[in-house]
A and B are shown apart, each in its own frame.
Chain A
Amino acid sequence: MASGVSGYAAISTRVRAMYSDLLSPQEITRLSESPDFSSLVSALKSTPYGKYLSGLKDNELTPRRVIQAIKHRLADSFSSVAQQAPEQTRPLVKQLYRYFEVGNLKAVLRSIQTVSSWNAEVATWDRVREVLFPFGSFSTIPAQAMVESGSVGSAVEFLKGTAYEETMSFAMKRFSAEQNLFPLEVALDLDYWRKIWSEAKKLSGKDREMATKIIGSLMDMNNLMWAIRYKVYHKLSEEELINYTLPFGYRVSDEDVRAIAAGSDIASVISRIYPNIPDVSALLENPQAGLPKLEQALKQQVVKTCTSAFIGDPFHIGIPLAYLILSDYEVQDLIILLEAKYTNMADADYRPLLLKPAAV
């Protein structure tokens, strides 16, 4: 406990201060009441995101640029927490941050694959850069060189010496045979979650308890959604589904995933794990419309787990982890709002997708 107190005194205070800077559900609702895209951006300027938007001039306000700017705040939060977290928990925080690097890596590979399949001119770095997460000096992948290499094979060569080399070496054999990014992306995802789980398990005491609870909740959501999508959309066989999912999590167990793989009723499996999610069967009747809602409900479970981390003993890694995940969800809400306002989407179409107002 003593080491917990000394190790967490500073970061816990700082994270709580940063937590209080997150937008409240009322603020998100107020933002969503902006009549159009530019008023939304103006309203955002008076929030803690204002600092990141101040560099953008009025004539360059496109959703991409604004989204890129607000993502900088998330990147700053991650770097700040990663630098201040106690030594033993830093690998876990850094691995959590790698989620965005994995996303960047997938985006880079998709850009190369899309352009080569269109047989168009080589994708310019400038086009790809705009959609990448501003990872800064934490990035280990040479994204620009990869994009400019022009082929997935040559791009993956650039990953030598990085944490992705081994995973990609196996996955590339399948890519070469199938010319499809699916095996690469699945391999990257599985590798990411296995590593973060292993980092969480390396911790001890309260740190381990909170890390496995919070990271495990995130994994539960991903694992369940993978299993359902593989079953419903990709029609994968039992053995493939098992190999493309994870056998661990906080509430979702290997037995649950295997039951879905073996063809059990998905709704009853989910209802058993999350009795408080209503009408799962109804959601799964029309997967096209129902799965996003189910994912939303699962995200709400993650939000609850994260929010509960701020109650009680403050000297553990749960608080920084929960803050980072809630920050990410906040950015996701803002992205939905920005895109909805830019495309003049009706309120009823996007409001159910917002996490924060639903969490009230």
Chain B
Amino acid sequence: MFFPKEMTELELIIPSKDVAAVAKVLSGRGVFHQVDSAYLGLENLGPSAWQEKAGNYSALERRIQTMMQTLGLPEEYPAKASAENIVEVEAIRPAVERIDEQVKGNGDQLSSEKKHLELLESQLRQLEPIADVKVEVGALNKSAYLHSILGALPASNISRLRTSIGRVPHVFFTLREDSQKPVVWVLGPKSNSDVLDRAAKSAYLAPLSLPEELSGTPEQITATLRKEIEASKKKIADLEANLNKLGGVHKTELQKLLWDAHVSRVMADAIVRFGQLRHTYVVVGWAPSVSLNGLTAQLKEVSKEILIEKHTPSRSEHNSNIPVALTENKWLRPIQELVTTFGRPSYGELDPTLIMALSFPILYGAMFGDIGQGLVLMLVGILAHKRIFMKGLQSLGLLLVYAGFFATVFGFLYGSIFGFEGHSAEVYLPFTLHPLWLSPLENILTILGFAIDAGIVILIFGYLLSLFNTARLKDWAHFWFGHTGVVALIFYFCFLALLGNFLGDTAIAPKVAVAIGQLPLPFNILTPVFALGLMFNGLFRNIAEGHRPYVQGGVFMFIVTSFMDLFEGVISMLSNTLSFVRVGAFAVAHGGLSLAIFSLAGEEPTIGFWITIILGNIFIIGFEGLIVYIQTMRLHYYEILGKFFHGGGLRFEPLKLKPSQEEA
């Protein structure tokens, strides 16, 4: 639960005769992440027959898909998919060719007729800009002294074309101003025709192309073209009706053929990536350890002579090539999506989903504490999750429920319901509501200080998790001297002690920092010692890891950059700590926004008053709810996850026959 699923590397040696059956098991169970045999260095054993087969299946699958598209059929598999076996190419091909023959005739006619219609329409469009010109179109090209070029070109090329012919006499008309295909007419002396032609060609000008049989003025040609367009449209409608009829006849058969070709293609593709030896195949890949028994049992069932080598690497080994399968839990899916947006945990790394499942809603609730609005958020979340309302938010539905729940809890703590709190609750509501903890508006400094305290605890927790991660990975250089290593953590304590002593008994002083400052420890000695440690972290890491040169860019530059590192470290610690002030600030702002709504609503509980309160609450839920969501995400991405989570894991992509829902 706290780590990606444990993975086991499998190496299978399969007799050639069993290769299809093994491929079926590996593809059918959806738990095997294949590693390409090319990476085993076995690819030079000659072309495999399976490569050709995979190509044939792929071509057949595409051909069936094209037919289905032509017939207007959705690309669906049969409701009851037939056996998941490799079907011989020759068992599929005759049926595909038979149907294709019927479809192709109509389809080809339809596509050629559509192209014809497109051509006619484009000719008509080309004539539109010169519809009023009372000249025979053909005559433009027959002039003895003038060279004329009429055509369309990319809009961005017009000014360049004009520049390019600036040195020869010419007349330039833009006949149609169109952002995509403007039409221009360039006229110049016949003696410069080569320059004009080269310029037009290099500006990608496509000259007006009218067939010779279309003669006369633009008006006459337009009338002829319109008639032809009508006839073409009618022909297209007839052909489409024929294809619809054919679609009805062949739908079931095509769906079955598509399934057979698809299943065969997926398995053949997998086999192509097996390493081929003389009489055997070698397959390498990964499977979650929990699925291993089922998978190996099934493999042994279909291939008695199969050899299976298993290796379950430790999480602390080199693991960047191990695919990462995250624990699937529908209740945690929206949180997992938030985590994977930041990064996919690497194999040995702690998966922060569970931690974030707690911290995200709590921080959200603390900033958006209101019983009524929290319940509304929960309701919206439930409806969205069930796809009853706001279907677009379905993936976020559960997150809204969790955030709404904690907003409700904090609503009780703050004593706020739909913005009514304290005196306003007594006046307008039939019950009294007292905060179980405190009202943010009346205890601004207390809540801000508490927010910083909470932030300090969360940050220290983040440092500890980072130590845990690096210790598990046996990355001792980073454990001691990393940006969130032991030295940095101790310096953070010293920094807090200084902060606590500095702020002393002021209202905003973080209690945790003050408490640390009062510990009987020699912070005046520890602080400079660990500041130096933090300053030269990079050097210590280089020494620990044996990276040479230990000091880069000369001693002076090294000291300057080290000092800047220390400066940046201190600034980061300060800004990370103070960043949590926003939690308290938003709790206060939430109350303030409600007060603003009440000011607009007035004092008398008229209909207008209640309408303003309802609209105001909708505004707060929609607008402030979104801002608080962004702030919560920001706190997690910048302040919390950045402390201990690196990501960069390889996605687990098992072989599958049916495309199923994507893993987060």
Contact = CB atoms under 8 A, between A and B. Distances in A.
Interface of A: 10, 24, 26, 46, 51, 54-55, 57, 59-60, 166-167, 170-171, 173-174, 183, 187, 190-191, 194, 236-240, 242-244, 247, 254, 258, 262
Interface stretch (B199-207, B223-231, B584-592): B199-207
A247 B156 CA distance: 11
B202 A244 contact: yes
Given A54-B320, A258-B163, A10 B638 contact: yes
Nearest to B163: A242
Interface in B152-205: 153-154, 156-157, 159-161, 163-165, 167, 180, 195, 198-199, 201-204
From A46, A236, A242, name the one whose CB has the most chain B CB atoms within 10 angstroms.
Answer: A242
Interface string B292-321: 000000000000000000000000001011
A170 B195 contact: no
B195 A239 contact: yes
Nearest to B565: A20
A331 B52 CA distance: 37
A46 B477 CA distance: 14
Interface in B194-252: 195, 198-199, 201-204, 206
A190 to B, nearest CB: 8
Contacts of B648: 51
A51 B163 contact: no
A121 to B, nearest CB: 10
B94 interface: no
B529 to A, nearest CB: 25
A54 B321 contact: yes
B552 interface: yes
Nearest to A173: B206
Nearest to A27: B552
29 contacts: A24-B553, A26-B553, A51-B320, A54-B320, A59-B41, A60-B39, A170-B153, A170-B204, A174-B201, A174-B204, A183-B204, A190-B156, A194-B156, A236-B202, A238-B164, A239-B164, A239-B165, A239-B195, A239-B198, A239-B202, A242-B163, A242-B199, A243-B160, A243-B161, A243-B199, A243-B203, A254-B163, A258-B163, A262-B167
A10 B204 CA distance: 44
Interface in B529-562: 547, 552-553
A342 to B, nearest CB: 18
A190 B161 CA distance: 14
B154 A240 contact: no
A269 to B, nearest CB: 17
Contacts of A240: 164, 198-199, 201-202
A299 to B, nearest CB: 23
Contacts of B180: 166
Nearest to B153: A170
A55 B206 contact: no
Interface of B: 38-39, 41, 153-154, 156-157, 159-161, 163-165, 167, 180, 195, 198-199, 201-204, 206, 318, 320-321, 547, 552-553, 638, 648
A10 B320 CA distance: 27
Contacts of B202: 236, 239-240, 243-244
A239 B199 CA distance: 5
B156 A191 contact: yes
Closest 9 CB pairs of A and B: A243-B202, A239-B199, A242-B164, A239-B164, A240-B202, A170-B204, A59-B41, A55-B321, A243-B203
B552 A171 contact: no
Nearest to B160: A243
A242 B160 contact: yes
Contacts, number: 71
Nearest to A245: B160
B514 to A, nearest CB: 29
Contacts of A238: 164, 167
A236 B39 CA distance: 47
B195 A237 contact: yes
Contacts of B153: 170
A57 B163 contact: no
A304 B201 CA distance: 38
A59 B39 CA distance: 8
Contacts of B638: 10
A239 B196 CA distance: 8
Nearest to B572: A13
Contacts of B39: 57, 60
A24 B210 CA distance: 62
Nearest to B59: A148
B154 A170 contact: yes
B536 to A, nearest CB: 16
Contacts of A54: 318, 320-321
A60 B41 contact: yes
B52 to A, nearest CB: 11
Contact of B552 (A24, A57, A243): A24
Contacts of A26: 552-553
Nearest to A165: B180
Contacts of B154: 166-167, 170, 191
B342 to A, nearest CB: 10
A160 B38 CA distance: 34
A262 B167 CA distance: 10
A237 B318 contact: no
Contacts of B167: 238, 262
A59 to B, nearest CB: 4
Nearest to A47: B547
Nearest to B41: A59
A242 B158 CA distance: 12
Nearest to A30: B549
Contact of B320 (A55, A171, A191, A242): A55
B160 A247 contact: yes
A236 B195 CA distance: 12
A286 B100 CA distance: 60
Given A170-B206, A173-B206, 11 more contacts: A10-B638, A59-B41, A60-B39, A166-B180, A190-B156, A239-B202, A240-B202, A242-B164, A243-B160, A243-B199, A243-B203
Contacts of A60: 38-39, 41
Contacts of B204: 170-171, 173-174, 183, 187
A359 to B, nearest CB: 14
Nearest to B552: A24
A287 to B, nearest CB: 22
Nearest to A54: B320
A258 B320 CA distance: 53
From A51, A167, A183, A239, name the one whose CB has the most chain B CB atoms within 10 angstroms.
Answer: A239
Nearest to A257: B163
Contacts of A167: 154
Contacts of B201: 174, 240
B551 to A, nearest CB: 12
B634 to A, nearest CB: 9
A27 to B, nearest CB: 8
A295 B156 CA distance: 27
A272 B521 CA distance: 68
A10 B195 CA distance: 54
A259 to B, nearest CB: 13
A237 B163 contact: no
Contacts of B163: 242, 247, 254, 258
B607 to A, nearest CB: 41
Contacts of B321: 54-55
Contacts of B156: 190-191, 194
A237 B553 contact: no
Contacts of B195: 237, 239
A239 B192 CA distance: 12
Contacts of A174: 201, 204
A262 B163 CA distance: 12
Contacts of A194: 156
A182 to B, nearest CB: 11
Contact of A46 (B164, B198, B320, B547): B547
